Amino acid sequence: MFDRFEGSLEDQATMDHHGPLSSSSTLPASSASFQASFKEFLSRPENQPILEQHQRKEVRQSIKLQEKIQALKFRSAVLDADLESQKNIAPFLRNRVLKRIVMTFMNDPNGDFEKWAKNPRVIGMLATAQRMMDEGRVSEADMEEQLVRMLKGGGDDPSSSSSAAASVVSASASREFANATRAKARLPTDQLVQALNEHLQERRKGNTAYSAGQYDDAERYYVRAKSIVDLVEGLSMADQEEVVANAVAVNCNLAAVYLARGDFGAALGAAEDALGLDAGCEKALARKAKALVGRGAWEAVEAVVGEMDGRGMVEEVGAVRRLVEARKKEEAKSRETFGKGLSLGTKTPTIT
pLDDT (0 to 100) of residue 58: 73
pLDDT < 50 regions, the chain: 1-27, 152-181, 342, 346-352
pLDDT (0 to 100) of residue 164: 34
Assessment of whether the complete model's pTM goes beyond 0.85: no
Among the four given CATH numbers 1.10.3720.10, 1.25.40.10, 2.40.30.20, 3.20.20.210, the one describing domain 185-332: 1.25.40.10
3-state secondary structure the chain: CCHHHCCHHHHHHHEECCEECCCCCCCCHHHHHHHHHHHHHHHCHHHHHHHHHHHHHHHHHHHHHHHHHHHHHHHHHHHHCCHHHHHHHHHHCCCHHHHHHHHHHHHCCCCCHHHHHCCHHHHHHHHHHHHHHHCCCCCHHHHHHHHHHHHCCCCCCCCCCCCCHHHCCCHHHHHHHHHHHCCCEEECHHHHHHHHHHHHHHHHHHHHHHHCCCHHHHHHHHHHHHHHHHHEEECCHHHHHHHHHHHHHHHHHHHHHHHHHCCHHHHHHHHHHHHHHCCCCHHHHHHHHHHHHHHCCHHHHHHHHHHHHHCCCHHHHHHHHHHHHHHHHHHHHHHHHHHHHHHHHCCCCCCC
pLDDT (0 to 100) of residue 57: 75
Q: List, for residues 188-218, the tens digit of each pLDDT value.
A: 998 899 899 999 999 999 999 999 999 999 9
pLDDT (0 to 100) of residue 73: 84
pLDDT (0 to 100) of residue 149: 59
Q: In the chain, list all ranges with CATH 1.25.40.10.
A: 185-332
Q: List, for residues 136-159, the tens digit of each pLDDT value.
A: 777 777 777 666 655 544 444 443
pLDDT (0 to 100) of residue 25: 43
At 256, give phi and psi (nearest 5°).
-65, -40
